[in-house]
Structure 1
Amino acid sequence: MADPSSYRPRPGQIPDSPGVYRFRDEHQRVIYVGKAKSLRPRLSSYFQDLSNLHPRTRTMVTTAASVDWTVVSTEVEALQLEYTWIKEFDPRFNVKYRDDKSYPYLAVTMNEEFPRAQVMRGAKRKGVRYFGPYGHAWAIRETVDLLLRVFPVRTCSAGVFKRSAQIGRPCLLGYIGKCSAPCVGRVSAEEHRELAEEFCDFMAGRTTAHLRRLEKEMQRAAEDLEYERAARLRDDIQALRRAMEKNAVVLGDATDADVVALAEDELEAAVQIFHVRGGRIRGQRGWVTDKVEAIGTGELVEHALQQLYGEERGEAIPREVLVPALPDPAEPLTEWLTGLRGARVDLRVPQRGDKRDLMDTVRRNAEQTLNLHKTKRASDLTTRSRALEEIAEALDLDSVPLRIECFDVSHLQGEDVVASMVVFEDGLPRKSEYRRFQIRSFEGQDDVRAMNEVVGRRFRRYLREKQRTGEWVEPEPDAAQDAEEPDAAPDAAPDAEAADAGPRGTDGRPKRFAYPPQLLVVDGGRPQVAAARAALDELGIDDVAVCGLAKRLEEVWLPDDPDPVVLPRTSEGLYMLQRVRDEAHRFALRYQRGKRAKALRSGPLDAVPGLGETRRQALIKHFGSVKRLRAATVEELCEVPGIGRRTAETVAAALAGAAATGSAPAVNTATGEIIEDD
């Protein structure tokens, strides 16, 4: 590990101008490339106290052994040079892109004497017209097959073309009318090129002119009693329309735009792009990004556009690029895109209308891509095994943690405090053994105290079951709720994902849950870890390792260490800990929201004449609970949108009457369960 002060340049050596800088390791390999509006303050920010740096930045500067820079004239030049260097050196600490070159394009080789339509991947070639990208090669072949009836351009390889010319006979496509057979001289090179240009015009979105021309020719043929030719033209028109139907109309006919959306978490981001030409979706692409460096949404957008357009020129870049967030500043990126296109490019965030709706669609695709990527990554046995080994090594455990339990606390401004426990075995979630806790011993935003209580409750049950049986008890496949604890409220029944369908004891209650983890993870930093460790120490449990994962910086905290353990951003162990933590957070949040949703149906309000479902929900949402609603005055009730004074007086009277008689408690109409007030 290098000391950054050993290679820190003197402030007077660093120019105060735009530029691009490179950090190199001891072997002179470039490990990070960055750009700056002013190099001096940007580079100086890397050489401060290491404790003030982001963990990923701290790892980078301690890995590096030198830094150099190149001065440029403008921020636009810096953007271009940064892209060039990232492509050239592939630095390990820059954003990593995957799957970018795997998407197929429909390509027309206009640089050949007889242009050919084909599926093409990889780097783009000069003189070739590209359309797409498409999600699958078969989608290209379906489209081409429909269009060849109208535009019979060559699709054969050079070998097949040369062989047909030698023997004087076309291939099968030439015999069935899906190729103009330039190989045997049925059309000249000029006529075939004209067909290829019409094919490209149609694929570029200029479809209306071709359809009108064919319709006029069909009418003329019918008037001249050439019914066979008219029927053939009719079939051609239907083929073109079927090809057009494969591309959904999403925006105005003249709209050319690329829509970029992101779905991200602390470790990765999924990028999705829809290519809209002539108002229709002409292609789609996407990739998954490893967030190796600390980076925001605007910076991710900038890197995505560099990756997308770095090697493009001219009309390949649309007039409009819609993004979820703009980089700061956005002007250099806009100028760079304008320079590549040779005309103005509008970079903006859609706020409303069809473009906003399309952005939401692209974002949902990005979310699905990220979820699918995570699922595939988590289901790989080799990856899971490596992750568990990395966790054991980083936390200095005696063996890999085959069973991990994670706890999280959730509340809404100190009310409805709940907690969750999720279980992962061999790196996979064991949803039948998830648990949810109600915390009624106190109210308030004391996550540390809540964590101590929940861990204590869980392991007191473990000790009681161990004492009762005198041996370890393996969990049943669908074990359900724990036994009620005398000094605490009973836990809620498991979520729908963990149905209460397991074997039961002789008393009719589910079998008890008493199988200890090798690793206990809490959602939080040093205070939450200390609270969990204290709960275990009070019970005399010393064979369960404890750690915490702080969400902001993804640091792993241990009970007795003053400094956190920083796992590499590409570590499978960190990815698994994050997944366990996020699942506990999701489970707790779902339970907490579900508890509050029960209050949306209230007995006293149901009896108020003229008060419909919408206004009942508005009242509960405004006051937060039935208890606060009962304490509200008529004037406070009138502040709720849609509630007039007469209705407010009626509601107040109904609530006062219910309180006086003690009738009509709040009820969950789905289950019939009585809902407790705050």
Structure 2
Amino acid sequence: MPDPATYRPAPGSIPVEPGVYRFLDPHGRVIYVGKAKSLRSRLNSYFADISGLAPRTRQMVMAAGSVEWTVVSTEVEALQLEYNWIKEFDPRFNIRYRDDKSYPVLAVTLNEEYPRLMVYRGKRRKGVRYFGPYSHAWAIRETLDLLTRVFPARTCSAGVFKRHRQIDRPCLLGYIDKCSAPCVNRVSAEEHRKIVLDFCDFLSGKTDRLARDMEREMNAAAEQLDFERAARLRDNISALKRALEKQTVVFGDGTDADVVAFADDELEAAVQVFHVRGGRVRGQRGWIVEKSGDTEDSSQAHLVEQFLTQFYGDQAALAGAADEAINPVPRQILVPVMPNNAEELETWLCQLRGSRVALRVPMRGDKRALAETVKRNAQDALAQHKLKRAGDFTARSAALQSIQEALGLVDAPLRIECVDISHVQGTDVVASLVVFEDGLPRKSDYRHYAIREAAGDGRSNDVASIAEVTRRRFARHVSDLQNTTVLTAEGKSRKFAYPPNLFVVDGGAPQVNAAAGVLEELGVTDVAVIGLAKRLEEVWVPAEPDPVILPRNSEGLFLLQRIRDEAHRFAITYHRSKRSKRMTASALDTVKGLGEHRRKALVTHFGSLARLRQASVEEITSVPGIGVATAKAVLEALGVTPDSAAPAPVIGDDQTRASG
């Protein structure tokens, strides 16, 4: 592997002007392309201190054999050149937003004598109109099934069309009036093209005119007593309305915009885009990309810049090869944060569109609400992506094998336990212990702990808390080994399952050394201990000065992250419940004569302290075991002045019978 010092440019030889640079491997292949306002400042950062670089950036610098650059006069030129080089060389260390077969479009072949409506994937062609993209091909077929009742255009292939023309008999769609059957000359080529153009107008947002025209034709047919045609037009109008209902109106002013949102973690980012045309959501697409790891290149502002450059550059290239009427860039692009070079990016987008493009961060109203919806979709896409990785058996096997090799374990860690600490400024300190077997969570073995010793001084001490949890967990294990004959009523051992192959703590070297010290003290020698630090996702091993760095695309690192995140979630859930109970108890524990059971009965009956404050003395005394004096004391403790009215008299059975 090349040493970066061998190809580092001579001091002072790198220009200070803006430009685009590219790293090449020893075989001359481009592996990374970037741009900079100052080439000298940016390139020097790659060679200053390699140990301080992010893992993926360090891997790129070590894999390169040379670096080249091109000086440009403006940042807009740098933007364009960077996009062109990324598209030309497809560097493996650049983030790529690739369109693939997962995003079909609805194509209308206007370049044919009898245009056809169809599901299409692939390169764009001249004379073809494209609508979408759609998330799934079935969504296009559902749209066609609904709209061909109103616009009976041809959807068959060239072979089917030719065969039915030869036999002079329409297909099934022609018999059920979902195709105008141009193959048997029911309509002329001009009439069929008009049907197709109306279909295109409808999908382009010109819905009001079509609906008005149909209503006018329906009324005219009714006046002429042609009730059969009027009924057909009525059904067509209903079908149009159903189609419109499927496309939710999100902007009342009919705005054309793309709404972009990101959800990311340390390793990956999910991107979602909603395409809004005429105020309605017309399409949606998303990507999962691996982040570079560099602090600057992994910021959301940089992700926005990279996405806008690549996505709209590719869309412009597609549109250039397709129908010239399609504009690849909308009038507005709504993003979560403004990129650092927003002005230059706007200028470049305006050049692609040929008119003004506004780059905005939505702050309020409908646009802000839609941006939040898109963000939730991105978060869900990232979560589903991580679950898919964890659920895949091959990926899980590879993850366990990766962890075994990286840590030098004798066997793959089939059982992994992870500990996390949760507190608020040292109060209500709790810990969680989650268990994964074969890469999947085993929730029946989850445990939570209320920290006792480490929380005694009221201050946060994560290291002592980790030591306490480790001692309590493995002291139980040692005790189980010494009492193997203790069985439950079902005849099963009371052991806490079996010890883990790998014990993970959330933290760095201090936490790991504390856990390892406890295991040594208890005489447990067959459990490996590591720590996973959040900042750079390093894996710390006891008594080692430097962490183990797993590759950023390692399945093992993904699994360790998921285990750590699950432990964090479980700890926070327990911490919130404990804090809620403490707050409830602190408000009522001053009431004399109100013990733990009656306190719990009150909170259970009313659901919350807020509802208990609103209750009257009579309502409180309806709880079993609560008298009038206690009820008044409860209200006083909650800061409410109890009413002086005496509770309603209890009517006995004798009184009830007498009154009857």
Shorter-chain TM band: 0.7 to 0.9
Shift of 1:38: 2.1
Q: Find the aligned partners of 1:344 and 1:11 in 2 and give their Cα distance.
A: 43
Task: Spell out the pairing of 1:402-417 with structure 2 (5 A cutoff).
Answer: 402-417=414-429
Matched to 2:381, the amino acid is T
CA, structure 1 residues 123+293, in 2 after alignment: closer, same or farther (shift >3 Å)?
Answer: farther
Structure 1: gaps (5+ residues)? 477-502, 620-649, 658-678
Q: Tell me the percent identity.
A: 64
Shift of 1:393: 0.6
Shift of 1:292: 4.1
2:469 corresponds to 1:454: yes
Root-mean-square deviation over aligned CA pairs: 3.0
Corresponding residue number in structure 2 for 1:370: 382
The answer to whether the 8 A contact 1:549-1:555 is kept is yes
Shift of 1:217: 1.4
Q: Find the aligned partners of 1:67 and 1:352 in 2 and give their Cα distance.
A: 45
Q: Find the aligned partners of 1:412 and 1:520 in 2 and give their Cα distance.
A: 25
Matched to 1:469, the amino acid is T
CA, structure 1 residues 81+615, in 2 after alignment: closer, same or farther (shift >3 Å)?
Answer: farther
Find the residue that maps to 1:113 and give its secondary structure: coil
The answer to whether the 8 A contact 2:55-2:551 is kept is no
Corresponding residue number in structure 2 for 1:50: 50
CA, structure 1 residues 293+111, in 2 after alignment: closer, same or farther (shift >3 Å)?
Answer: farther
CA, structure 1 residues 602+3, in 2 after alignment: closer, same or farther (shift >3 Å)?
Answer: same
Task: Spell out the pairing of 1:114-129 with structure 2 (5 A cutoff).
Answer: 114-129=114-129
Q: Find the aligned partners of 1:154 and 1:74 in 2 and give their Cα distance.
A: 50
Q: Find the aligned partners of 1:604 and 1:566 in 2 and give their Cα distance.
A: 49
CA, structure 1 residues 116+11, in 2 after alignment: closer, same or farther (shift >3 Å)?
Answer: farther
Matched to 2:245, the amino acid is E
Corresponding residue number in structure 2 for 1:242: 242
Deviations 1:452-509 (A, max 9, x none): 2221221122122212339xx9xx9xxxxxxxxxxxxxxxxxxxxxxxxxx5699xx9
1:570 corresponds to which of 542, 546, 553: 553
The answer to whether the 8 A contact 1:98-1:288 is kept is no
Q: Find the aligned partners of 2:122 and 2:190 in 1 and give their Cα distance.
A: 29
2:448 corresponds to 1:436: yes
The answer to whether the 8 A contact 2:426-2:459 is kept is yes
Corresponding residue number in structure 2 for 1:489: none
Shift of 1:604: 4.2
Task: Spell out the pairing of 1:209-228 with structure 2 (5 A cutoff).
Answer: 209-228=209-228
Structure 2: gaps (5+ residues)? 317-325, 592-605, 614-632, 641-660
Corresponding residue number in structure 1 for 2:323: none
The answer to whether the 8 A contact 1:466-1:514 is kept is no
CA, structure 1 residues 265+173, in 2 after alignment: closer, same or farther (shift >3 Å)?
Answer: same
Corresponding residue number in structure 2 for 1:308: 311
Find the residue that maps to 2:518 and give its secondary structure: helix
1:560 corresponds to which of 504, 523, 543: 543
Corresponding residue number in structure 1 for 2:628: none
The answer to whether the 8 A contact 2:132-2:283 is kept is yes
The answer to whether the 8 A contact 2:254-2:280 is kept is no
Corresponding residue number in structure 2 for 1:666: none
Deviations 1:211-261 (A, max 9, x none): 011111111222222222222221221121122122122221512122222
CA, structure 1 residues 127+597, in 2 after alignment: closer, same or farther (shift >3 Å)?
Answer: farther
Residues matched between the structures, number: 592
Shift of 1:601: 3.0
The answer to whether the 8 A contact 1:98-1:289 is kept is no
Matched to 2:312, the amino acid is Y
Shift of 1:325: 2.1
Task: Spell out the pairing of 1:308-347 with structure 2 (5 A cutoff).
Answer: 308-313=311-316, 315-347=327-359
The answer to whether the 8 A contact 2:480-2:494 is kept is no
Matched to 1:225, the amino acid is L
Deviations 1:54-110 (A, max 9, x none): 222222211211111223333233223323333333322222546744211111122
Deviations 1:377-407 (A, max 9, x none): 1111111111111111111111111111111
2:83 corresponds to 1:83: yes
2:576 corresponds to which of 593, 603, 617: 593
Q: Find the aligned partners of 2:275 and 2:382 in 1 and give their Cα distance.
A: 20
Deviations 1:290-338 (A, max 9, x none): 2243312222223333443222245332212222222223222222222
CA, structure 1 residues 598+219, in 2 after alignment: closer, same or farther (shift >3 Å)?
Answer: same
The answer to whether the 8 A contact 2:484-2:493 is kept is no
Corresponding residue number in structure 1 for 2:653: none
1:296 corresponds to which of 276, 299, 304: 299
2:283 corresponds to 1:283: yes
The answer to whether the 8 A contact 2:480-2:495 is kept is yes
The answer to whether the 8 A contact 2:584-2:609 is kept is no
CA, structure 1 residues 607+405, in 2 after alignment: closer, same or farther (shift >3 Å)?
Answer: closer
Corresponding residue number in structure 1 for 2:370: 358
Corresponding residue number in structure 1 for 2:179: 179
Q: 431-440 or 15-24, which moves further after superposition?
A: 15-24
Shift of 1:289: 1.7
CA, structure 1 residues 652+446, in 2 after alignment: closer, same or farther (shift >3 Å)?
Answer: farther
CA, structure 1 residues 432+42, in 2 after alignment: closer, same or farther (shift >3 Å)?
Answer: same
Corresponding residue number in structure 2 for 1:521: 504
Q: Find the aligned partners of 1:221 and 1:324 in 2 and give their Cα distance.
A: 52
Shift of 1:656: 11
The answer to whether the 8 A contact 1:100-1:287 is kept is no
Deviations 1:18-55 (A, max 9, x none): 22221122222222222222222111111111222222
Q: Find the aligned partners of 2:32 and 2:493 in 1 and give their Cα distance.
A: 56
Q: Find the aligned partners of 1:290 and 1:405 in 2 and give their Cα distance.
A: 27
Matched to 1:162, the amino acid is K
Q: Find the aligned partners of 2:567 and 2:262 in 1 and give their Cα distance.
A: 24
The answer to whether the 8 A contact 1:114-1:193 is kept is yes
Q: 144-153 or 174-183, which moves further after superposition?
A: 174-183
CA, structure 1 residues 601+66, in 2 after alignment: closer, same or farther (shift >3 Å)?
Answer: same
Corresponding residue number in structure 1 for 2:648: none
Q: Find the aligned partners of 1:324 and 1:139 in 2 and give their Cα distance.
A: 28
Shift of 1:210: 0.5
Q: Find the aligned partners of 1:303 and 1:330 in 2 and give their Cα distance.
A: 12
Shift of 1:600: 4.4
The answer to whether the 8 A contact 2:466-2:514 is kept is yes
Shift of 1:188: 4.2
Q: Find the aligned partners of 2:358 and 2:639 in 1 and give their Cα distance.
A: 60
CA, structure 1 residues 217+253, in 2 after alignment: closer, same or farther (shift >3 Å)?
Answer: farther
